[in-house]
Amino acid sequence: MAIRQQDWSLQRKGVIDQERHKERVKDAIRKNLGSIVSNESIILSDGSKTVKVPIRSLDEYKFRFDRHKQKHVAQGDGNSKVGDVVAREGQPGNGPGKGGSGPAGSDPGQDYYEAEVNIDDIAALIFEDLQLPFLEERANKAMPARTTRFTEIRRTGPFSNLDKRRSIIENLKRNAVEKGRAQVGGFKKEDLRFKSWEEDIRFESNAVVLALMDVSGSMGEFKKYIARSFYFWMVRFLRTKYDNVEIVFISHHTEAKEVTEEQFFTQGESGGTVVSSAYKLALDIIEKRYPPNDWNVYPFHFSDGDNYYSDNEEAVRLADKLIATCNLFGYGEIGDEGASSYRRSSGALLSIFKEHLKQQHRFIGVRIDSKEDVYPALKEFFGTRGIKV
């Protein structure tokens, strides 16, 4: 008598295929993060859209039985041996569409399809390796984040917390003792059991991020878009991973002012540039509202590097003061789209900062010349370093 063993993995083929599809989607997202992060449909939306990601289709190999034993394409004559050259690139092969040298190309392409992915899933992959650098414990703790955890069973409580399973067990036990038969029915008050909970308190160190953006006349559409792309993901990252991080928005041209989040992301460009005005306002806000003894402070500034010449010395002095005051100071300089290699390497303010602040390990300067540079800038500013609480 033959015993057949059933392969239960066949019963789960749909689930296995789904998991494989999810992994392929994640892999495609990781390979395209540079372009996804700067995708206009995301940046200009309210952050609740889905994104289409191109994924190569995956065909499964199948065996087909040929009853007539006919010869097929690329089958050979049976006289081939290891090392024989079947066909070279540019020469016709045994199958249709193989090789050829036509101007339009005759080789078959790979099939791709677009998978719709929720922006939250993309954000999870973008943020998985990011954190606030040099985060330290401070004297004052922020308002604790509270979660509910059931820890005890009681005989009294609100019916919304009734534990049905334990109540049925108690009813069975009482009926078995009183009637000699374990059965459900005739519930009494003494049978009821209720869940009790306590609040699980988790403290986080205070932290504030100051977002500074140049809105002068030299910040054209491309530069403005790059700055807003970075800050869009920065704000989402902070609000996703931290419960008690405050964000202050500062825009500046020749003068700086604190603005609302909506104004920060929609304000147009005009006027000249005096960078020191933004740094002075940031230092004033820190001194009045976020003393460094009680707060982790992170100022980030984006500009095109064009500054009023006589203001450069003051800008460096205030930047040095910010570095001494804060956990980390980040400066991002945005170049012109499609700039030459010479212009890419000669950013005005960034070059000055790197020359005068090169000994400061809590200063990070980056250069952005294309949309694909936004994601590396995020990783550079929020990469793993320093103390993590």
Q: What is the pLDDT of residues 238-260, one digit of tens each?
A: 988 887 789 999 999 999 999 99
Q: Is residue 131 part of a domain?
A: no
Pair 194, 319 in one domain: no
Q: Read off the CATH number of the domain in which 235 is found.
A: 3.40.50.410
Q: Is residue 101 part of a domain?
A: no
Pair 197, 183 in one domain: yes
Residues in Cβ contact with 263 at an 8 Å cutoff, skipping those fewer than 6 apart: 249, 251
Q: Is residue 158 part of a domain?
A: yes
Mean pLDDT throughout 310-322?
A: 94
Pair 166, 303 in one domain: no
Q: Is residue 284 part of a domain?
A: yes
Q: Is residue 285 part of a domain?
A: yes
First-to-last C-alpha distance (Å) of the chain: 65
Q: What is the pLDDT of residues 149-167, one digit of tens each?
A: 667 788 888 888 888 889 9
78-92, 152-166, 261-275, 370-384: least confidently modelled range: 78-92
Pair 196, 229 in one domain: no
Q: In the chain, where do the E strands start and end?
A: 50-56, 112-118, 145-154, 194-202, 207-214, 245-252, 256-259, 296-303, 329-334, 363-368
Mean pLDDT throughout 213-226?
A: 92
> How many domains does the chain fold into?
2
Q: Is residue 3 part of a domain?
A: no
Among candidate residues 154, 185, 202, the one where a domain is terminated: 202
Pair 160, 222 in one domain: no
pLDDT at 8 over 60: no
Question: Which residue has tokens 């147009």?
Answer: 268
Between 223 and 388, the higher pLDDT residue: 223
Among candidate residues 202, 219, 236, the one where a domain is terminated: 202
For a pLDDT cut of 70, what percent of the chain falls above it? 68
Among candidate residues 202, 222, 241, the one where a domain is terminated: 202
Pair 188, 215 in one domain: no
Pair 289, 186 in one domain: no
Domain hosting residue 175, numbered range? 145-202
Q: What is the pLDDT of residues 280-300, one digit of tens each?
A: 999 999 999 999 988 999 999
Helix axes 275-289, 312-325, angle to 10 degrees: 30
Pair 359, 217 in one domain: yes
Alpha helix positions (H), 128-247:
164-179, 221-241
Pair 222, 288 in one domain: yes
SS3 content of the chain, % helix, strand, coil (to 5): 35, 20, 45
In terms of Cα–Cα distance, which of 346, 347, 251 is closest to 306? 347
| pTM score, whole prediction | 0.65
d(CA 109, CA 57): 11
Pair 306, 369 in one domain: yes
Side-chain half-sphere exposure of 375, counting CA atoms within 13 A: 20
Q: How confident is the model at residue 98 (pLDDT cuts 50, 70, 90)?
A: very low
Pair 171, 275 in one domain: no
Q: Is residue 283 part of a domain?
A: yes
Pair 348, 374 in one domain: yes
Identify which of 9-23, 75-89, 261-275 has the greatest average pLDDT.
261-275
Q: Is residue 34 part of a domain?
A: no
pLDDT at 226 over 80: yes
> What is the structure's pLDDT at 151?
73
